[in-house]
Structure 1
Amino acid sequence: MNFEPLSSFIDRITSWRIPWAEVLVMYRNEPVFRYRNGYANLEEQTPIDDGRIINLYSLTKIMTCTAALQLLEKGAFLLNDRLSDYLPEYTEMNVKKRLPGGELILEKAVHPITVRDLFTMSAGFSYDLGLPSIREAVKHTGGKMPTRAIAEALAKEPLQFEPGTRWNYSLCHDVLAALVEAVDGRRFGTYIREEITRPLGMDDTGFDLPDGQQSRLAPQYEYSDELGKPVRKDGNGFRLGTEYESGGAGLLSTVSDYAQFLNALTNQGTSPDGVRILSPASVELMRTEQLTESMRGDFSWEQLKGYSYGLGVRTHISKARSGSLSPLGEFGWSGAAGCLAIIDPASQLTVMYAQHMLNNQEPFVHPRLRNIVYACL
């Protein structure tokens, strides 16, 4: 293995637009390469160092779906169950329909939302955090907005389409976190800590930072095309309240911590130390394509050509369309500040890539980084 091209790529992007970047490559459960470059704090020219805590944003979704699959394994629900069996507010839903003349009307939904629809982003939700019901819920809860409240709020809004008929990136996994709370009884963050992060020894992963970890939180930036440089932009805009544990975008973690979780999935659901968080059958189901032929057209992000969608993750289905050097079945996801997870049971490969910049240049960085990793093996 020669990872010089990978370190050169990190150097290239950190001298371009990205303040800092770090990559950790694990092969057969062992770290075989780790490299970082750039400044954690651009203003103070502080080099990026070990143990920096970052917002994972949508990389949270992989853990949320893992948590829900654990409950599936215990018989708490089935994928084809109606969501309203567990969250009664979804018993009757309205759907937006546009008439041939352009008029927008509301009709009763024909199809119920299923648990599967939450996993697969096909429930009919949007990612609009400014919806009237959400604003009212934040006000009603005094700014706390506990996780269960997002499900109650979204149930008051009309759906964008009939459940199960389209793919639309949305707040589905935030509602999935509320489902975990409803069927398990614990707060979502407590469930994550007791069933996943603590057993795996992930001491730096959670929805809130203890005082002793605050100093390790990396500054966050957003690239300004107008100014031609990154500008400071701290905070997580997806956090709707002080008690909101977002299943879609709420976790904070480090490269080392989250790589442990990702590697357990690479290892068919069990860590090298023997901690089992999922069965091999569940990992296989997670990375199995879930989209119908008619839904694939909605999954059209340029950097994900040749990929489809499983249970909360991209999954590689066509090397001809992707141009990716990774094998079919490689899976994972990414985050708004630029993180990337590569999980590959066939190659026994885990990659955790991190940066902390919104407007993250993902279409340029991620496909290139993935190809370079596989070429280095």
Structure 2
Amino acid sequence: MKALTEFIDRLTSWRIPWAEVMVIHRNETVIRYRSGLSNLEEETPIEEGRIFNIYSMTKIMTCVAALKLVEQGKMLLNDPLSAYLPEYADMNVRKRLPGGKLEIERAKKPILVRDLFTMTAGFSYDIGSPSLKEVAEQTNGRVPTRAFAEALAKEPLLFEPGTRWNYSLCHDVLAALVEVVDGRRFGAYIREEITGPLGMKDTAFDLSEEQQSRLLPQYEYKDEQGRPVRKDGNGYRLGTEYESGGAGLLSTVSDYALFLNALTNKGTSPDGVRILSPAMVDLMRTDHLTDRMRGDYNWEQLKGYGYGLGVRTHASKAQSGSLSPLGEFGWSGAAGCMAIMDPDSGLTVMYAQHLLNNQEPYIHPRLRNIVYANL
């Protein structure tokens, strides 16, 4: 796959400090390539086993964690969320009146469990909202995941639940739902039910001292300076005890690829560890958008894709211009990593970089087409 290695080299000579790609076809790693510098100041080349923020690629694992509970009959997608998180029983919603004035009204529809998966609950992604600032003060900066969900319920919704799509804190609330339904802390549940059984040793919300030594510097590309500037930390981590189901995990390329490949194999790893049933993986990659929601789901790089239970899913080749088959699914993260899972081709792609202002609309569709053209 010369075209792929050349593309990765092109990215790292352009504006991405380092980039890495791992392609697994029918459980065999067919290409693994990395280039660039992990530390620009010290000019260190990128090496194996380095840990980075996967941000919103956490969402895939959070949804799998919650779907396991659906499989076990512990909750249903069509249950009202308030059956488990009572603070969501009587929600307020912002309504714009004909004259443009905003009014706060009582929501007519309940938030359903499915609305958390599909980003249709009506939440925003405002991590600086008054209620979230307040819970940070009240808990002395700890913000346990369950306390976060209680606080968010005080904020008015942007729309009636189930009527529109908005990328938001839905999956962070989903993590709190898992805690309540299962009884364990979200990170412990993830470790005992998913990462542990799959042999993933480097994927967690908090790192050991040894792992901390492998954590990569993070950069942000400053257009006005024309260069990447060091910017460490995770702005979505609202407190020391906050396990963000939406953006909190750290991982490595090799580690997260184990999880992605199990989903490519319809929920079971090559050595027989089952994290989801094939039927649930198919439900996860079914497009759950209505026509009304499609207008909200309008990111350039997602043309021709629908949205399933926490993942993009390929729905129209004519619109996407993508060489992948329909039903290819995955998601990406704020610093530019991307997952491709494709049960029909037996293909898994884990792409990684650690740069905010990540150039996703340019990189991801091109990367996908290069991989599929060479399959």
2:45 paired with 1:47: yes
- The residue correspondences of 1:116-135 to structure 2 (distance < 5 A) are 116-135=114-133
Question: Residue 216 of structure 1 corresponds to which residue in structure 2?
Answer: 214
2:13 paired with 1:15: yes
Amino acid at match of 2:144: P
Question: Residue 140 of structure 1 corresponds to which residue in structure 2?
Answer: 138
- Cα deviation code 1:240-275 (max 9, x no counterpart): 000000000000000000000000000010000100
The Cα shift of 1:117 comes to: 0.2
Q: Give secondary structure in 1 for the equivalent of 2:100.
A: coil
Q: Give secondary structure in 2 for the equivalent of 1:15.
A: helix
Q: Give secondary structure in 2 for the equivalent of 1:24.
A: strand
Give the root-mean-square deviation of aligned CA atoms: 0.4
C-alpha separation between the residues in 2 aligned to 1:81 and 1:112?
A: 10
Question: Residue 98 of structure 1 corresponds to which residue in structure 2?
Answer: 96
Question: Residue 309 of structure 1 corresponds to which residue in structure 2?
Answer: 307
- Quick one: which of 76, 80, 83 aligns to 1:82? 80
Question: Residue 291 of structure 1 corresponds to which residue in structure 2?
Answer: 289
C-alpha separation between the residues in 1 aligned to 2:12 and 2:34?
A: 9
- Quick one: which of 317, 321, 329 aligns to 1:323? 321
Question: Residue 194 of structure 2 corresponds to which residue in structure 1?
Answer: 196
Question: Residue 369 of structure 2 corresponds to which residue in structure 1?
Answer: 371
C-alpha separation between the residues in 2 aligned to 1:101 and 1:340?
A: 42
C-alpha separation between the residues in 1 aligned to 2:157 and 2:216?
A: 37
The Cα shift of 1:372 comes to: 0.3
The Cα shift of 1:282 comes to: 0.5
**Greater displacement, 266-275 / 98-107:** 98-107
Question: Residue 346 of structure 2 corresponds to which residue in structure 1?
Answer: 348
**Greater displacement, 145-154 / 359-368:** 145-154
Amino acid at match of 2:133: R
- Give the TM-score, by structure 1 length: 0.99
- Quick one: which of 111, 114, 129 aligns to 2:112? 114
- Cα deviation code 1:114-156 (max 9, x no counterpart): 0000000000000000100000001001100011112101110
Any gaps of 5 or more consecutive residues in structure 1?
none
Question: Residue 332 of structure 1 corresponds to which residue in structure 2?
Answer: 330
Amino acid at match of 1:72: V
Any gaps of 5 or more consecutive residues in structure 2?
none
Q: Give secondary structure in 1 for the equivalent of 2:14.
A: coil
Q: Give secondary structure in 1 for the equivalent of 2:196.
A: helix
C-alpha separation between the residues in 2 aligned to 1:128 and 1:297?
A: 21
Quote the sequence identity (%).
Answer: 77
C-alpha separation between the residues in 1 aligned to 2:356 and 2:149?
A: 27
Question: Residue 358 of structure 2 corresponds to which residue in structure 1?
Answer: 360
- The residue correspondences of 1:261-272 to structure 2 (distance < 5 A) are 261-272=259-270
Amino acid at match of 1:234: D
Question: Residue 237 of structure 2 corresponds to which residue in structure 1?
Answer: 239
- Cα deviation code 1:142-179 (max 9, x no counterpart): 10001111210111010000000000000000000000
C-alpha separation between the residues in 1 aligned to 2:128 and 2:266?
A: 39
2:26 paired with 1:36: no
- The residue correspondences of 1:271-290 to structure 2 (distance < 5 A) are 271-290=269-288
C-alpha separation between the residues in 1 aligned to 2:100 and 2:365?
A: 39
Question: Residue 256 of structure 1 corresponds to which residue in structure 2?
Answer: 254
Amino acid at match of 1:34: R
C-alpha separation between the residues in 2 aligned to 1:232 and 1:149?
A: 32
Q: Give secondary structure in 1 for the equivalent of 2:211.
A: helix
Amino acid at match of 1:177: A
Question: Residue 226 of structure 1 corresponds to which residue in structure 2?
Answer: 224
- Give the TM-score, by structure 2 length: 1.00
The Cα shift of 1:277 comes to: 0.2
The Cα shift of 1:105 comes to: 0.6
C-alpha separation between the residues in 2 aligned to 1:144 and 1:350?
A: 36
- Cα deviation code 1:188-226 (max 9, x no counterpart): 000000000000000000000001111100100000001
Question: Residue 180 of structure 1 corresponds to which residue in structure 2?
Answer: 178
Q: Give secondary structure in 2 for the equivalent of 1:38.
A: strand
2:214 paired with 1:206: no
C-alpha separation between the residues in 1 aligned to 2:132 and 2:241?
A: 14
Amino acid at match of 1:87: L
The Cα shift of 1:19 comes to: 0.1
The Cα shift of 1:103 comes to: 1.1
The Cα shift of 1:60 comes to: 0.1
Q: Give secondary structure in 1 for the equivalent of 2:29.
A: strand
- Cα deviation code 1:22-67 (max 9, x no counterpart): 0000000111100000000001000000001000000000000000
- Structure 1 segments of 4+ aligned residues over 4 angstroms from their partners: none
Paired residue total: 375
C-alpha separation between the residues in 1 aligned to 2:332 and 2:112?
A: 25
